[in-house]
């Protein structure tokens, strides 16, 4: 199957700082990628659709100015959590489609102190 | 209408038994229904998926049963093993294009297979 990587796998930051998470499709190109957030023992909630070469599409209730998404190339999408607060602590997961299937990255655990 | 309802929330099965997880949806525009397996601290991994034009799909010990008229689908894990212990999510993709579109996830089922 296709491989999607994320970096970093975990990050701890202080409240008020910004954190960037990378999502890469390793062996295929993806014009679209998706970003999800998952709180402990809960389901995955779609945050936004990342579109290569154009603006991201955000789901209702997701602050676009807080969660900045940049799809700079056909293999890389980045999610930047700006001015992070403890309530932003969560598991962030990206996915990319290939061959009619969605492949997920391993996730990034964000802890905001 | 965008929700996917999943049950049960948790499930305990004896080794060798059959695990059954059910999902229901409202939106008739959904046209792609995958099941994912997730271990703690890991991303979801695709297990098996089905489209509305078939009523059943089997891959190894995993089977999806799909009832289009009832808008329900289920995952059956045959000969369940302790290594199957994980959280299982059903999902559905709205609009056309199948997996190239966003997924709406069910609430998840925590499966524990006892040895």
Helix (H, G, I), strand (E, B) or coil at A75: coil
Name every chain A residue with its beta carbon within 8 A of the beta carbon of B109: none
A95 close to B (CB below 8 A): yes
Residue position matching structure tokens 């049960």: B8
The partner residue sitting opposite B43, judged by closest CB among A49, A97, A104, is A104
Determine whether the interchain pair B107/A43 forms a contact, defined as Cβ–Cβ distance below 8 Å.
Answer: yes
Instruction: Considering only CA atoms, give the Rg of chain B.
Output: 13
pLDDT digits (tens, 9 = 90+) for A9-39: 999 999 999 999 999 999 899 999 999 999 9
Q: Report in angstroms the alpha-carbon separations of B12 from A42, B16, B37, B82.
A: 19, 12, 16, 11
pLDDT digits (tens, 9 = 90+) for B59-108: 999 999 999 999 999 999 999 999 999 999 999 987 554 445 788 999 99
Chain B's closest residue to A59, CA to CA, is B102
Instruction: Tell me if A86 sits within 8 A of A34, measured CB to CB.
Output: no
pLDDT digits (tens, 9 = 90+) for A90-109: 999 999 988 878 899 999 99
Determine whether the interchain pair A102/B106 forms a contact, defined as Cβ–Cβ distance below 8 Å.
Answer: no
Confidence of residue A42 (pLDDT cuts 50, 70, 90): very high
């Amino acid at each position: 199957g296709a491989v999607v990587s994320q970096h970093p796998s975990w990050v701890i930051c202080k409240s008020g700082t910004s954190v960037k998470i990378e999502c890469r499709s390793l062996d295929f190109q993806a014009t679209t990628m998706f970003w999800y957030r998952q709180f402990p023992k809960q389901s995955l909630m779609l945050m936004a659709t990342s579109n290569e070469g154009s603006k991201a599409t955000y789901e209702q209730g997701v602050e676009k100015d807080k969660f900045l998404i940049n799809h700079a190339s056909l293999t890389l999408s980045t999610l930047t959590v700006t001015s992070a607060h403890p309530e932003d602590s969560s598991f962030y997961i990206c996915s990319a489609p290939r061959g009619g299937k969605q492949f997920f990255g391993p996730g990034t655990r964000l802890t905001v102190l | 209408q965008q929700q996917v309802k999943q049950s049960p929330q948790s499930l305990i099965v004896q080794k060798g038994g059959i695990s059954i997880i059910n999902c229901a949806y409202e939106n008739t525009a959904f046209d792609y229904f995958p099941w994912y397996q997730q271990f703690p601290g890991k991303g979801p991994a695709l297990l098996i998926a089905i489209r509305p034009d078939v009523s059943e799909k089997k891959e190894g010990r995993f089977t999806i049963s799909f009832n289009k008229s009832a808008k329900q689908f289920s995952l059956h894990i045959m000969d369940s093993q302790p290594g199957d212990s994980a959280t299982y999510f059903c999902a559905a993709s709205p609009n056309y294009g199948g997996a190239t579109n966003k997924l709406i996830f069910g609430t998840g089922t925590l499966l524990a297979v006892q040895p």
